[in-house]
A and B are shown apart, each in its own frame.
Chain A
Amino acid sequence: MNNQHTLRIFDEDLNSLRQEILALSNHVSEQLHLALTALVENDAVLAEQVITSDFIADTLQAKINTHTTRTLARQQAMADDLRAILAASRIAIHLERIGDYAKNTAKRSRHLSQPISAELAEQFQWMGKRIQSMLAQVTESYIHHNAPLANVAWADDAELDRVYVNLFQHLLRTMSQEIRNIADGTQLLFIAKGLERAGDHVTDIAEEVYLMITGLPLQGPRPKVSEHS
């Protein structure tokens, strides 16, 4: 956006929406970080904090939903303004779902019978950091209308999928070796799948942002390394 609307309240509405998306994105990114910290440090108190904080994401998403509906009704937006409002509504849904996966990670971490190995911790933390990094990219892309950056985040999902597939196979091997590993292994499989899905939601956001900025869909099949992902 390089110039302002004649009706200044419209600019204020759109700026508010951007700030609300930024707040929701920062919140779910932090939730993800805390959930994975709770997992690798076997910290039940921190896990509980993540679970009880999930309502903030729900509240922010509902607020954005109301805001976008009111803006559509009041401003009768056109062109890139219309795309920006629709994108905000859809991005908020994806962010809220990422928050749900963070909560789910925290919930499952409480059911583990023992701390996870350093090797697993490293892989889970890598996935979490990759999602946070992708989320930061798509959020910056959204705020600053940077379409190439959305494209970068979109392509980064392939690496996340690769690590997920490795983790999945590692957990399967662990469970097949010892029957007592199955309970914890199953919880960790769900956590890993949740993180992989969170990455997919960031990819969805990247597509929304690209469409919002350019008016065109991102071309080509999504980057995937395996049918397992």
Chain B
Amino acid sequence: MTQKISHDQKVTLTPSTSSPTTNTERESRAAEVRKLSFWYGETQALKEITLSIAKRKVTALIGPSGCGKSTLLRSFNRMHDLYPGNRYSGEICLFPENHNLIDLDPFMVRLRIGMVFQKPNPFPKSIFENVAAGLRIQGIQNKKLLSDRVEQALRDAALWEEVKDRLSQSAYGLSGGQQQRLCIARALAPQPEILLLDEPTSALDPIATAKVEDLITEIRHRFTVIIVTHNMQQAARISDFTAYMHLGKLIEFAPTGELFTTPQETLTRDYITGRFG
């Protein structure tokens, strides 16, 4: 089934019919990508990708530039819908309902799946309002509840101690590393089922990078994380599973410890060891 993206698409909540899944499998997975292909106009960027996203684990997507890893990541929160001419086929099913998120309202998808980008992009608002933004969209108005959830999100993002005395100040006054952790706090505040990280440390110095990596390892027990990174050592350090992609295809998907020590595919081995392919 190939599906064109429509901006006035109806919300469909029918369970996916393909790949029946047992209850136990559903409990251990946050999502499953099934034969997902994607086209930017006439250019096919993803070719029948199939992989499972383990629940409350970190899954890393690695591969050379143009391999499709960011395209795959952005499919999870329907970013591609923002541009005309893009189309999908296949499914990304969210568990436990087994709903194909490509059939869901993008707005509903983004309430369940948060995203953080390569460069920090705080809103031109206070630190507090940045984190509260998603909560307000969820309809939370109670000041005490808002305040508690903002504090929890800032604690989850390991930023609370640094900003607790200046919550009303502009987010632009924070350093680059702090701004990125603020963006992570903003994404975490609505308690997403899946957090998408698109090269979240590529613009940060080593210390700020270590802080972000540390917070990812802290939150992994409560959130499902999918991270795109060019830094293989980062993938090796913080992820539980790693997918290696090449020219729009999934070449290998394995527990991180196995993929980085005994890759089964020559393409994977050549990439992670830095050889000419």
Contact B270 A3 (CB under 8 A): yes
B124 within 8 A of A: no
* With contact pairs A3-B270, A3-B275, A4-B276 given, residues A79 and B236 touching in the complex (Cβ less than 8 Å): no
Comparing B38-46, B196-204, B255-263, the segment that makes contact with chain A is B255-263
B236 proximity list for chain A (CB < 8 A): 78
B274 within 8 A of A: yes
A148 within 8 A of B: no
Chain A: interface secondary structure?
Answer: loop
A73 within 8 A of B: no
Contact B274 A10 (CB under 8 A): yes
B67 within 8 A of A: no
Question: Which residue on chain A has the smallest CB distance to residue B263?
Answer: A79
Residues of B within 8 Å of A, CB-based: how many? 14
Q: List 18 A-B contacts (CB under 8 A).
A: A3-B275, A4-B275, A6-B274, A6-B275, A6-B276, A10-B274, A76-B233, A78-B236, A78-B272, A78-B273, A79-B260, A79-B262, A79-B269, A80-B273, A81-B273, A82-B261, A215-B261, A216-B262
A179 within 8 A of B: no
- Contact among B263, B272, B276 for A3, CB-based, below 8 A: B276
Residues of A within 8 Å of B, CB-based: how many? 16
Within 8 A of A (CB), among B198-255: 232-233, 236
Docked pose: A144 CA to B273 CA in angstroms: 19
A sample of 15 more A-B contacts (CB under 8 A), given A7-B274, A79-B269, is: A4-B275, A4-B276, A5-B274, A6-B274, A6-B276, A10-B274, A76-B233, A78-B232, A78-B261, A79-B260, A79-B262, A79-B263, A79-B272, A80-B273, A216-B262
